[in-house]
Structure 1
Amino acid sequence: MTVLITGGAGFIGSTIASACADRGHEVIVLDDLSTGVAAFADRHRFYRGDIADGALLDRIVRENPDIDIVVHCAAKIVVPDSVADPLGYFDANVARTVSLLTNLTRNGLDRVVFSSSAAIYDTPVDGVVHEGSPVAPPSPYADTKAVVERVLQAGATAGSLRAVALRYFNPIGADPSLRTGLQSPTPSHALGKLISARRDGGRFTITGTDWPTRDGSGVRDYVHVWDLAEAHALVVDRFDEVVGALRPFRALNLGTGRGTTVLELVEAFGRVTGQAPRVELAGRRPGDTAGAFADVSAARDLLGWEARLSVDEGIADALRWADVARRSGLFDHASAPVAH
């Protein structure tokens, strides 16, 4: 099977690309390298450009007429940035996705796996979200994911495409084989900031300690990126079983099925590194919520998928990747290979 992955030079997309390739699929990557790393894509057939570029999509399909399915990962993802620049986020994540889908379906490609977000859910009282939980995106970023899901569902209802949306919270870790990992030396999420603080001798800031959780810090579902990648690859393998003529759009939660608070993540980081991180407390950030974790029973029943790797393993793999990336100079990726 031939898989086109948008955003395939980023953290999530590149890991999905490796998981698909490991299953024997031919992988094609489309990425504009605004945040992605060329080295992550150059092991596959790589096209550099905008997902909304219709002429480029035409060319990709013309040169690769055997494309079977599209995994859509390209998006802006930083919550505080989306609060500061909502129009930019809706342009990048929604408007360009609509153009992408228009050009895909025009070229006869109607099978889409959308890398969505469990951030679209309203914060539940018990901390658990399932696919039928109320949707109430707390930030423009989350709202863009919810809107794209509605676009996909409308297209599926009209018969122009079929789609699976995979909703997940907080990916951590790296490809255990260290082929790819976080592409930024200054990542914005909690584990990345813990690693940066350890490297620089600084403090890790816990934003919000008055949430209605067991220790006051936000609860998250920290899932290993390799588990996420394997779930995406499983959906690629079994797409026609997951969706059908009677249900052309389906959403599935992915995660560990249990919550980890930020303070518990800090404790795990100290356990893995052998040294307790230095922390400081701060107020809530715009767009933050108390958090939640995913009920993943539907993915288990439908795909036979469960997260296998622990939070400690995710931390260990992220640390190993950070060392490899720093030694190799991977973060200095100003130059990129010429796209095919």
Structure 2
Amino acid sequence: MSAGSHAPLNEAADDIDEGVGESVEARLEKLRDARIVVTGGGGLVGSRLTALLCKVGAQVTVLDRMDAYPEDGHAIFGVEKTGATLVVGDVCDREAVAVLLRDADYVVHAAAYADVAACTRDPDIAFRANVQGTQVILEEIAGTGVRRLVLVSSASVYGDGPTGSPGPHMFHEDQALFPLSVYANGKLWAEHQTRLMLGAAGGAEYAIVRYFSVYGDPQIPKPGSHSWMVPWLSLQAKLGRPMRLNGGGVQVRDMVHVQDVAEATALALVEEGMAGQTVNVGTGRPTAVRKVADLLMPYFPDAERIVTPRPEGDPLGGYASTERARELLRWQARIDVEEGVDRYVRWLEKTPEAVPRWLAEDGA
């Protein structure tokens, strides 16, 4: 399927809302006064999700180590301002998890060592955070009144897709999976383990959402990472440095805005058809990394682009099949990459303090 065969995203999303007669917020009214635990709620997606859940009247508790970013990175995401209860802690701390889940109605498990490069460098840390931490969550849900767990997974489980066929590939939820990194392996294990342990008669339901390439303000990069290309390329250009295109930027990503991702994740808590299901969260449109650089050039016309080696574990990628999301979540992404990049650059211009000191002081 070509990018041109899709309806405009805003139009498609409006059609969905008109078809069901309810807005996203109206459907989330089911969560009013519900007690929801969001692990990893201090991060980019988690903070947006937490704000949305609080807005519809849910009682949200966030469990997060709050150490994924140096300096005051988490302050930019602003989870402390959402009205949620913030517990600074670790998903591997069984006692803390048990206390939080004891009275929970719903759980979103988004906590992870969420960086492909870092997981490759430190697989022991990745194992503890992404495998052991997930196991603790699953075990502690047993015997509680939790109605549904939403597990946050990743499109990285698809790898480069099937070999021997021309790309870019559209990734379908039921196709064979080819993880290429420690991070992707951990996510795939978490999916399998969730299916094994939850969903039995009388137990907590589960739903799995596979995020594609999440971006959008207030996203900032981490040291030593090669993910999050919109902030990386934007900040390098803003600082007068070359935009580095790893592997020439031929990799394909499905760029899905964090606002859309938060809505899809919240809907996975309430949509009945999501019980026991796995759904892609993406736009259904392929975007080459080098196109992101192209979109940034009008804002930074003096920026230089250079080609650098493609990092280990960095997939050539693909884009999401969105049919199942439209059917089960009754959702479609609203923000296309052109609008999302524009929003990000404008936010960056208004928020000079968002430029990390470690990056500004790095002469690379």
Fold match (TM-score > 0.5): yes
- Please list every run of 5 or more consecutive structure 1 residues that lacks an aligned counterpart in the other structure: 175-180, 210-215, 244-248, 333-340
- Letter matched to residue 231 of structure 2: G
1:253 to 260, 267, 280: 280
1:220 to 253, 275, 282: 253
Say yes or no: does 1:298 pair with 2:297: no
Other structure's SS at 2:107 match: strand
Q: Which deviates further from its counterpart, 35-44 or 294-303?
A: 35-44
1:88 to 125, 143, 147: 125
Contact 2:208 2:278 (C-alpha < 8 Å) held by counterparts: yes
Deviations 1:178-237 (A, max 9, x none): xxx22557564211211221222101111113xxxxxx7111101111011110111123
Contact 1:122 1:134 (C-alpha < 8 Å) held by counterparts: no
TM-score norm. by structure 2 comes to: 0.79
Contact 1:173 1:313 (C-alpha < 8 Å) held by counterparts: no
- Please list every run of 5 or more consecutive structure 2 residues that lacks an aligned counterpart in the other structure: 1-33, 359-364
- Letter matched to residue 269 of structure 1: L
Say yes or no: does 1:45 pair with 2:85: yes
1:194 to 228, 233, 243: 233
How far the C-alpha of 1:58 sits from its partner, in A, is 3.2
Contact 2:157 2:179 (C-alpha < 8 Å) held by counterparts: yes
Contact 2:158 2:176 (C-alpha < 8 Å) held by counterparts: yes
Which residue number corresponds to residue 338 of structure 1? Answer: none
How far the C-alpha of 1:158 sits from its partner, in A, is 4.7
Contact 2:63 2:86 (C-alpha < 8 Å) held by counterparts: yes
Provide the rounded CA distance (Å) in 1 between the counterparts of 2:212 and 2:322: 12
2:206 to 156, 163, 183: 163
Where in structure 2 are the equivalents of 1:262-277 lying within 5 Å?
262-271=289-298, 273=299, 275=301, 277=303
1:5 to 31, 34, 38: 38
Where in structure 2 are the equivalents of 1:12-91 lying within 5 Å?
12-35=45-68, 37=74, 40-43=78-81, 44-61=84-101, 65=103, 67-91=104-128
Instruction: Specify whether residues 132 and 8 from structure 1 end up closer, same or farther in structure 2 by C-alpha distance, changes over 3 A only.
Output: same
Number of corresponding residues: 310
- Letter matched to residue 122 of structure 2: D
Other structure's SS at 1:116 match: strand
Moved segments of 4+, more than 6 Å: 328-332
Contact 1:76 1:92 (C-alpha < 8 Å) held by counterparts: yes
Say yes or no: does 1:282 pair with 2:282: no
Contact 1:9 1:41 (C-alpha < 8 Å) held by counterparts: yes
Say yes or no: does 1:234 pair with 2:256: no
Provide the rounded CA distance (Å) in 1 between the counterparts of 2:114 and 2:88: 20
Say yes or no: does 1:204 pair with 2:255: no
How far the C-alpha of 1:54 sits from its partner, in A, is 2.1
Superposed CA RMSD in Å reads 2.3
